[in-house]
Structure 1
């Protein structure tokens, strides 16, 4: 798949809607004084900076694969944050002494596959008694996302996008994560979903702008040229206008479901 750079400006257009879940997750982390905090998929660093503000004496590390997002993070960063460009799917601490007390991840792990292995591995990466706190969008069965697949399946690009069309939803129901974490040795588990009733100005077009900086990226990156990408987006926008009629003031209600998990590793892990 062609590399499609992340756009910090496009991503931050809806910064308030994207940051609110992260801060709500952070508030549920049951740690008083972690020594090391790692934010996987830190993006422009909003959650990383919030973690730094909550635990000013901790070593705070932000990890992301996007140089563009990290450049913005460094511009806006508080002093004392260690920003690292790395593949979060392969990230691991450099030995037992570098194990974090807290791993945060906000709207990033859904880009990675094999959660049967990924989630338990991250829990076991922590120091004994450490906490894994993750938020992932679980909106993939809603029109904002299903219409992307519909456009892909109905257009001349269907063959090039066949594997994306056939791919299952990237985030499982809550019970699957409960089973994975408890089997991996979670001592406690706080697991919940929130359906955010996001009201966006600009009508249905704003939903396309919202997904355009995230969910649409891998689909558009597969298309051969700008003309194909423009045709794909135009079809998608037309379908969104039907699925999400505007409110009386011209805004649009964009319900968006997110899954949260906050798991503490046992202080006396087995194995």
Structure 2
């Protein structure tokens, strides 16, 4: 996957309520009444960490993200919690740090299938039986919002710059399940399709700018970047009809996984 510039916490949080629904739904299925140690992997601006802290106020929570801007924002939201800039693919808890719950919302889809399993295995295997790894990932590359990014990228003067820019496909659920079962006692997998009511086609673009569009627009600047976004908006307006209330329903599938060692 193409390396992106630092994330923009302000852009991401334009849809804070909608982006916080999935971590709430994921946490509802975590089978731990009172974990003592939690690691929030890819905490973003702290919205997932807030969800964890509300359910488990007495737990020691460490939250990590590769984005300095996200961590800076998270520290202002939850100054009493432990936030660090860290790379998911290389992070390891300190020796002797027994982790009850690894939690990750909307991060692991940026990894390849092999890296995804490798990270889960590296972090979960050293833990005691009963430890949990809970993740949710957007599963929406076939949705118009993403398909039209790719279409726009190959049909403009920016095409050469954007060659090969894409997000990794998720492997089939059966494959993911079976690879995790090699070192997990239980693997619970499900999918939820959200229909988010947003203000209009322009809001769909604003949502995409907070995440999925980054690998594309990070390679463009100035007028070229604006032209790309305008061309993308034209396509979005055709793909997402306006409802009777003037808003747009943004269909958003997400894949959830709770693995117990």
TM-score (normalizing by structure 2): 0.93
- 2:187 aligned partner: 189
> Separation in 2 of the partners of 1:61 and 1:9?
22
Contact 1:38 1:102 survives alignment (8 Å): yes
> Separation in 2 of the partners of 1:13 and 1:54?
24
What are the superposed Cα offsets for residues 89-143 of structure 1, whole Å, 9 maximum, x if unpaired? 2111122x11311000000111222334233333325333200000000011111
> Separation in 2 of the partners of 1:151 and 1:140?
14
> Separation in 1 of the partners of 2:172 and 2:246?
33
Contact 2:108 2:137 survives alignment (8 Å): yes
Superposed displacement of residue 84, structure 1: 0.8
> Separation in 1 of the partners of 2:48 and 2:58?
16
- 2:16 aligned partner: 15
Contact 1:29 1:131 survives alignment (8 Å): yes
Contact 2:102 2:134 survives alignment (8 Å): yes
Q: Report matched runs for 1:1-271 at 5 Å.
A: 4-77=5-78, 79=80, 81-95=81-95, 97-113=96-112, 114-165=115-166, 168-169=168-169, 171-183=170-182, 185-201=183-199, 203-223=200-220, 225-265=221-261
Could you tell me which runs of 5 or more consecutive residues in structure 2 were left unpaired when the two chains were aligned: none
Could you tell me which runs of 5 or more consecutive residues in structure 1 were left unpaired when the two chains were aligned: 266-271
> Separation in 1 of the partners of 2:49 and 2:126?
19
Deviant stretches of 4+, over 4 Å: none
Contact 1:8 1:68 survives alignment (8 Å): yes
What are the superposed Cα offsets for residues 151-206 of structure 1, whole Å, 9 maximum, x if unpaired? 111122222222215x652x2232222112102x21112110001011112x1111
Superposed displacement of residue 4, structure 1: 2.3
How many residue pairs align between the two structures? 258
> Separation in 2 of the partners of 1:68 and 1:159?
30
Query: RMSD of the TM alignment (CA)?
Result: 1.7
TM-score (normalizing by structure 1): 0.90
> Separation in 1 of the partners of 2:85 and 2:180?
27
Aligned residue for 2:164, secondary structure, equals helix
